Amino acid sequence: MRHTRLLAAAATLTLAACSTPAPTPPPSRPAPPQALSPIHQNLAPHETLWHIRAGLNVAALSCAQKVGPGIVTDYNAFLKAKQALLAEAYEQLSADYRAKGGNWQRALDADMTKLYNHFASPTAQAAFCEAAAAELKRAIAASPEGDWAAVLQRLDTPFTGPPQLAAPSAPPAARSLLAMPEPAAQSIPAGWRIQLGAFTGKAAAEAAWTNVKGRSAELGSLQPHFEPVPGKPLVRLQVKGVESREQAIQLCAHAAAAGFDCMPVKGV
C-alpha cells in the first residue's frame, strides 16, 4: 500500500513538472491621445496658449445658459491670473505673422475668425461648454509652465468625436396638452455689448478705441461706448448693438486679432 502511494505521488509531481504555466497577460497600455482637430495641429507653445484663450472666450460668450453665468466670472479670473502670460503669447504670435510680411494684421484677423468659428461649432456645444467650464477652473490655478497642450486637447475633444445628436422630440400625440412649451434657443439679445477692456481714464479708453479701429475695420465701423467704473479711476471700452451670439463671436475674434480681451456685457 505504501509503495502504491509513493507511485501516485511521483506521478503527480511528474505531471506538475510537465504542465505549462499560464502566460502572463501583457501590461495594459493607456489609449493613445485622440488626434487634435487640424486647426490645432503643429502649434508652438504660445500658439497653443492663444488657442486655449480663444476657446475659453467663446465659452464665456455662449455657454452661460448651459453651465451657468459663473463661466463669465471664471473667464475674467483667468484673464487676470494669466495676464502677463497671455500678453507674451500675443506678442510672439504677432511677431510670427509680422515675419510673414504683407498685411499680417488682416491675416491674423482671418485666422482668429476661423479659430473662433471652430469653437462655436453647434454640433459640439453641449460637451464643449462642460469641458470649458472644467478647464477654466484648472487654467486659473495652473502655473505658467503647466501642461497647456493637455488643456487644449481636452477642450478640443468634443470636436474630434462623432457629432452630437439632439434628443428626438416626442411625437405630437404623446405630448400633454397641459405641458409648457419648450423655450426657444436664445441668442445674445439686442442691447448687449462686447467689452474690450477697462482703462485708466477716458483718454486711455479712447486711445484704445483708436488702436482697435486701426487694426480691425469690422470693429471700427461700430459704435463705441465708454462707461466709467463706479468708485474706480477706470473706464470700460465697449461696443454697442450686438444682436446675436454669432455676431458676438465674430466681433471677439476681431478683438483677439487686435490683442484685446472680449466679454459679453448686458446693456441697459
Q: Which domains does the chain have, with CATH numbers?
A: 44-160 (no CATH), 189-268 (3.30.70.1070)
pLDDT surpasses 90 at 39: yes
pLDDT digits (tens, 9 = 90+) for 70-128: 999 999 999 999 999 999 999 999 999 999 999 999 999 999 999 999 999 998 999 99
Which pLDDT score is estimated for 40?
Answer: 97
Angstrom distance (rounded) from CA 156 to CA 265: 26
Average pLDDT, the chain: 81
Contact 93, 74 (CB under 8 A): no
pLDDT surpasses 50 at 167: no
Higher pLDDT, 242 or 236: 236
Angstrom distance (rounded) from CA 104 to CA 101: 6
Residues with Cβ < 8 Å from 238, sequence gap 6 or more?
193, 194, 195, 196, 224, 225, 226, 227, 265
Angstrom distance (rounded) from CA 124 to CA 161: 9
pLDDT surpasses 60 at 181: no
pLDDT digits (tens, 9 = 90+) for 206-219: 999 998 888 888 88
Which pLDDT score is estimated for 22?
Answer: 58
Higher pLDDT, 148 or 215: 148
Q: How many helices (H) and strands (E) does the chain have?
A: 11, 4
Q: Write the single-letter amino acid at 80.
A: K
Which pLDDT score is estimated for 213?
Answer: 87
- pTM exceeding 0.85: no
Give CA separation, 7 vs 3, 18, 60, 261, in Å: 6, 17, 81, 88
Q: Could you give the count of Cα atoms lying within 13 Å of 222 in the half-sphere of its Cβ? A: 24
pLDDT digits (tens, 9 = 90+) for 219-239: 888 899 999 999 999 999 999
Averaged pLDDT for residues 9-24: 50
CA proximity to 33, closest of 112, 147, 138: 147
